Amino acid sequence: ETLNLDQQIRRFRDSARELTLAKQAFHAFSVTVAREPSIPVYDCNHSMTLPGVQIADPASSRDADARTTFETTSGVARFFREIFDRNSINGNGMTILSSIHYGEEYNNAFWNGTQMAYGDGDGQIFVAFCRGTDVVGHELTHGVTQYTLGLNYENQAGGLNESLSDVFGTIFKQWLRQETVTEADWLIGNEILGPAAKAKYTCLRDMADPEAAHAMGGQVSHFRQYRDGMDPHESSGIPNLAFYKAAMALGGKSWDKAGPIWYHAMTENGTQPDMTMAQFAGATLSATDALFGGEQAVRAAVDKAWRDVGVTP
């Protein structure tokens, strides 16, 4: 077959267009695959053996806790992708596996370093832990922390670790509800308290008022109260209050300014297992310069928040 020049050029263009289309299709495919981590849900059937038995189609399961766990976990994955351009917990699309009905009337939920486990609660102090949107966000953020700062779970790093989980758990809850910082309740765990707990408390923790009597877990709110050996859930009140103060001073939606500053401090500083609260405060200031360099008011708000809680003298 002999082709004249025009025919040869046309054939070349056709094949080039095919190649481009194929590349675009591959790119779209790989982006889709990479950007939507798979979210399997398993059922422990009240045993404490993980992961249990996989639920075939959690999105349309008869089990409301399976549906809730799938939906909220998908929401957290979408939140980290859309707001922080983070692809799943490890930043590289890892599967997010959850086990529900963990143990008998088990009053907790946890990230075990590899996967999520949710207890049903005893129905008095707590209901099923998967029902707390901030709880799901909190626990999955422990995974993000593991893959970023790699914070230990004791002393100041422990308090920071717990606080980052509350911070991103609560931003996630506010994002789901599209609330401004003044509309938000800043409560952690208010959706999972059972009737007996509700008689005395409104939440597990109150980020706006860590020492509040209506919060079940007693926390401290100023660095002068910090002691080595404290439960990380107690010392986390200090950086929680700093985030609340910064977010309130910056106004608007927490995921527009305060959230990205905290996320940048968490993800752009390598691994720092023994990071102190003062070092993290410094990291948020560097993050502020990186993200909002020209805006003195932003830096002043973040700086004042850490001074108010005594982390910065």
Positions marked active-site: 139, 233
Q: Output 155 or 312, the one with its CB closest to Zn ion.
A: 155
H/E stretch holding 274: none
Which of the ranges 14-22, 143-151, 165-173, 258-266 carries the binding residues for Zn ion, by CB under 5 A?
165-173
Burial status of residue 295 (CB atoms within 10 A of its CB: 0-12, 13-18, 19 or more): middle
145 binds Zn ion (CB under 5 A): no
Which burial class, exposed, middle or buried, applies to 14 when counting CB atoms under 10 A from its CB (0-12, 13-18, 19+)? exposed
Nearest approach, Cβ of 142 to ligand ASN (angstroms)? 6
254-265 CB burial, b ≥16 within 10 A, e <16: bbebbbbbbbbb
CA distance 135 to 132: 5
Kindly identify the residues of this chain, within the stretch 154-183, that bind ligand ASN according to CB under 6 A.
Answer: 162
Strand partners, 109: 118
**Shortest separation between residue 151's beta carbon and ligand ASN, angstroms:** 12
Q: Is 133 in the site for Zn ion (CB under 5 A)?
A: no
Give the C-alpha distances (Å, rounded to integers) separating 221 from 16, 33, 189, 205, 247.
Answer: 63, 43, 18, 11, 16
**What is the spatial distance between Cα 166 and Cα 89, in angstroms, rounded to a whole number?**
16
Decide: is 110 part of the binding site for ligand ASN (CB under 6 A): yes
| Alpha-carbon span 173 to 307, nearest angstrom | 27
Q: Count of alpha carbons within 13 Å of 188, Cβ hemisphere only?
A: 34
User: Is there binding between residue 141 and Zn ion (CB under 5 A)?
Assistant: no
Per CB under 6 A, 108 contacts ligand ASN: yes
Which of residues 98, 99, 156, 165 is near Zn ion by CB under 5 A? 165
Stretch that binds ligand ASN, among 21-29, 63-71, 134-142, 144-152 (CB under 6 A): 134-142
Stretch that binds Zn ion, among 39-47, 121-129, 160-168, 220-228 (CB under 5 A): 160-168
Q: Which of 77, 83, 109, 301 is in the footprint of ligand ASN by CB under 6 A? A: 109
Query: Which secondary structure element, helix H or strand E, spans residue 57, and what is its range?
Result: none
Binding part of the chain for Zn ion, among 38-46, 116-124, 159-167, 253-261 by CB under 5 A, reads 159-167
Cα-based distances in Å from 120 to 38, 76, 203, 268: 23, 20, 17, 36
Cis peptide before 273 (omega within 30 of 0): no
Choosing among Zn ion, ligand ASN, none, which partner's interface includes residue 152 (Cβ < 5 to 8 Å by kind)? none
Q: State which of residues 139, 166, 206, 234 lies at the interface with ligand ASN (CB under 6 A).
A: 139
Residue closer to Zn ion (CB basis): 205 or 253:
205
Separation of alpha carbons 133 and 172, rounded Å: 8
Q: What is the DSSP letter of 11?
A: H
Measured from the CB atom, the residue of 58 and 137 that comes closer to ligand ASN is 137
Which is nearest to 280 in space by CA: 267, 292, 291? 267
The residue number whose beta carbon is nearest to ligand ASN equals 110
- Number of residues in contact with ligand ASN, rule: CB under 6 A? 7
- Among the candidate windows 65-73, 108-116, 212-220, 277-285, which touches ligand ASN by CB under 6 A? 108-116
**Closer of 142 and 264 to Zn ion (Cβ):** 142
Residue whose CB is less far from ligand ASN, 86 or 142: 142
Binding site for Zn ion (CB under 5 A): 162, 165
